[in-house]
């Protein structure tokens, strides 16, 4: 199919390639038709098709084509991405290799291969915290307080510019998201700048925030931009991007208890805002946030296993902390006792784990379908991106 496609479009590959000019102009496909065909091709195929000609290479790496390909990829049914960490010990160097397994929405495994370019070497460490966040085709990987980006579709990985060192270990305080309006990826990092304080006397005024931008045209910015405004609380977890604002559950202390609040950061005005939980919630501890059709949603699971009711609370106005109960699902009606509170959303379906199986619940049709046995504890919704990580990528 690859050779046939190139010949129809006027390119030439393989041992039977013809001399330049053998194709009459009136037999070649128009450029807009070629673009329409290429934009539906998977990332692996496009990596090969770039070698057909300089014009094809220039087209495929152009920002407009990358945006069109991302849109096409997101409109098609995306894949689940399971990430498995493999740890190797090689003499004095310790290698963390990530293996990506793609499973479609019907449960068919698409690929099961080691992405060699995502191998990360950490010298002198026997064990290291390894976390990852998936967004719009890229994977942000945090290992031993060093941040990497990986693009499985085009087999690229690179280390980001070093972030500011923290006086107190904050291994998991990194957030990652894609702003469609600006066509930019954003990496958010929190750190303590003052090393003179005592652990028991940590003041949140010393907690700072910085942002790194990755643009489709200019690539990775040269350095981190420190945000002038201080965050009012200590953010917990890796955050969630909803409608171009990042959200975190708030804590009074990095190792302390949760507050009854959520903090949000608006990338447009670079301001933090405090949001109060729904009044009926006893606590937000143990809850997960999800993006439900561009709105922040809290699935309330604290009554499990005594109750089988799953309520979905939606934030209608963040300034006034106005919440409404959007859905109330009795899981007993579908034989779904004992679900695990780890949720993803795709279109009108909420996805969660029941025992060792992924379950899709259609919010609009009020029905359930089971997809596949879980390969790993965590999973992400993945769609391809051609975003290049630049010349520093391996």
The full DSSP string for 328-381 is: EEEGGGGT-TTEEEEEEEETTEEEEEETTEEEEEETTTTEEEEEEE-SSS--EE
234: CB partners within 8 A, 6+ apart? 204, 207, 250, 251, 252, 253, 254, 256
Q: What is the model's pLDDT at position 275? A: 94
pLDDT digits (tens, 9 = 90+) for 151-164: 888 878 888 888 88
In the predicted structure, residue 190 carries a pLDDT above the cut 60: yes
Residue-wise pLDDT for 212-257, tens only, equals 999 877 788 878 999 988 888 888 877 899 999 999 998 877 666 7
pLDDT of residue 18: 44
User: What is the pLDDT at residue 91?
Assistant: 46
Q: Which residues pair with 195 in a beta bridge?
A: none
Q: Which of 56-60, 108-112, 188-192, 201-205 has the lowest mean pLDDT?
A: 201-205
Residue appearing with tokens 């290479």: 57
**SS3 at position 63:** helix
Asked if 372 and 101 touch (Cβ cutoff 8 Å), the reply is no
Predicted confidence band of residue 321 (pLDDT cuts 50, 70, 90):
very high
Strand arrangement of the beta sheet that strand 349-354 belongs to: 339-346, 349-354, 357-362, 367-373
Gyration radius of the chain's alpha carbons? 23
Cα 311 to Cα 117, 149, 192, 342, distances in angstroms: 42, 35, 37, 14
Which structure tokens are listed for 180? 């469609």
Following CA atoms 226, 393, 180, 153 in sequence, which dihedral angle do they give, to the nearest 10 degrees? -150
Please report the pLDDT score of residue 2 as a whole number: 43
Q: Give the residue, 157 or 79, on which the prediction is more confident.
A: 157
Q: How far is CA 382 from CA 151, 152, 328, in A?
A: 11, 10, 27
Q: What is the pTM of this model?
A: 0.79
- Cβ count near 289 (within 10 Å): 20
**Residue 312: enclosing H or E segment and its boundaries?**
strand 309-317
- Residue spans per domain, the chain: 2-75, 78-159
DSSP-derived letter for residue 29 is: P
Band (pLDDT 50/70/90 cuts) for residue 376 is low
Confidence at residue 137, expressed as pLDDT on a 0 to 100 scale = 87
pLDDT reported for residue 128: 59
Return the minimum-mean-pLDDT range out of 195-199, 290-294, 371-375: 195-199
Residue 290's CB is within 10 A of a number of other CB atoms, namely 19
Q: How high does pLDDT run on average in the chain?
A: 76
Residue 95: the pLDDT is 65
Please answer whether residues 138 and 150 qualify as being in contact, where contact means their C-beta atoms are separated by less than 8 angstroms. yes
User: Is 32 in a helix, a strand, or coil?
Assistant: helix
Query: Which of 80-84, 87-91, 205-209, 251-255 is modeled with the greatest confidence?
Result: 205-209
Q: How many residues does the chain have?
A: 394
Which residues are bridge partners to 190 per DSSP?
209
Q: Model confidence over 28-72: pLDDT tens digits?
A: 678 888 888 888 887 778 878 888 888 888 888 887 888 788 777
pLDDT at 271: 93
pLDDT in tens, 9-31: 545 444 444 444 444 444 567 88
| DSSP string for residues in 64-100 | HHHHHHHHHHHHS--EEEEEEEEEEEETTEEEEEEEE
Over the stretch 251-265, which tens digit does the pLDDT of each residue have? 877 666 777 899 999
Structure confidence by residue, pLDDT tens digits, 276-302? 999 888 878 778 899 998 999 999 887
374 — pLDDT class (breaks 50, 70, 90): low
The arithmetic mean of pLDDT across residues 113-129, rounded, is 45
Asked if residue 42 lies in contact with residue 79, where contact means CB atoms within 8 angstroms, the answer is no
**CA geometry: angle 293, 295, 300, nearest 5 deg:** 100
Which band of pLDDT confidence, cut at 50, 70 and 90, is reported for residue 124?
very low
For the chain, report the end-to-end CA distance as a whole number of angstroms: 29
pLDDT at 17: 43
């Amino acid at each position: 199919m690859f050779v046939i496609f190139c010949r129809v479009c006027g390119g030439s590959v393989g041992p039977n390639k013809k001399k330049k000019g053998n194709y009459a102009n009136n037999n070649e496909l128009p450029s807009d038709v070629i673009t329409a065909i290429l934009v539906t091709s998977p990332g692996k195929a496009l990596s090969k098709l770039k070698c057909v000609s300089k014009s094809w290479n220039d087209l495929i790496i152009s920002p407009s084509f990358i945006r069109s390909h991302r849109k096409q990829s997101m409109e098609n049914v995306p894949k689940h991405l399971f990430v498995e960490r493999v740890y190797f010990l090689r003499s004095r160097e310790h290698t963390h290799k990530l293996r990506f397994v793609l499973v479609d929405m019907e449960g068919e495994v698409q690929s099961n291969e080691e992405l060699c370019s995502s191998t990360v070497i950490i010298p002198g460490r026997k064990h290291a915290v390894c976390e990852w966040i998936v967004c719009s085709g890229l994977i942000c990987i945090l290992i031993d307080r060093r941040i990497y980006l990986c693009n499985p579709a085009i087999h690229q990985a690179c280390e980001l510019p070093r972030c500011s060192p923290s006086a107190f270990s904050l291994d998991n305080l990194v957030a990652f998201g894609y702003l469609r309006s600006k066509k930019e990826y954003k990496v958010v990092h929190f750190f303590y700048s003052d090393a003179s304080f005592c652990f028991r006397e940590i003041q949140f005024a010393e907690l700072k925030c910085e942002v790194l931008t990755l643009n489709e045209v200019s690539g990775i910015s040269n350095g981190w931009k420190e945000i002038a405004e201080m965050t009012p609380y200590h953010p917990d977890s890796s955050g969630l991007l909803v409608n171009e604002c990042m959200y975190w559950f708030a804590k009074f202390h990095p190792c302390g208890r949760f507050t009854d609040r959520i903090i949000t950061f608006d990338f447009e005005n670079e301001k933090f805002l405090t949001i109060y939980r729904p009044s009926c919630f006893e606590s937000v501890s143990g809850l997960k946030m999800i993006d439900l059709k561009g709105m922040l949603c809290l699935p309330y699971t604290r009554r499990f296993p005594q109750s089988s009711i799953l309520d979905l609370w939606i934030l209608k106005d963040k300034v006034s902390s106005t919440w409404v109960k959007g859905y109330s699902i009795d899981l007993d009606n579908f034989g779904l006792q004992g679900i695990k509170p780890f949720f993803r959303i795709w279109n009108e379906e909420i996805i969660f784990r029941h025992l060792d199986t992924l379950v899709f619940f259609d919010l609009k049709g009020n029905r359930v379908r089971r997809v596949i046995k879980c390969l790993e504890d965590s999973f992400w919704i993945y769609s391809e991106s051609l975003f290049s990580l630049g010349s520093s990528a391996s």
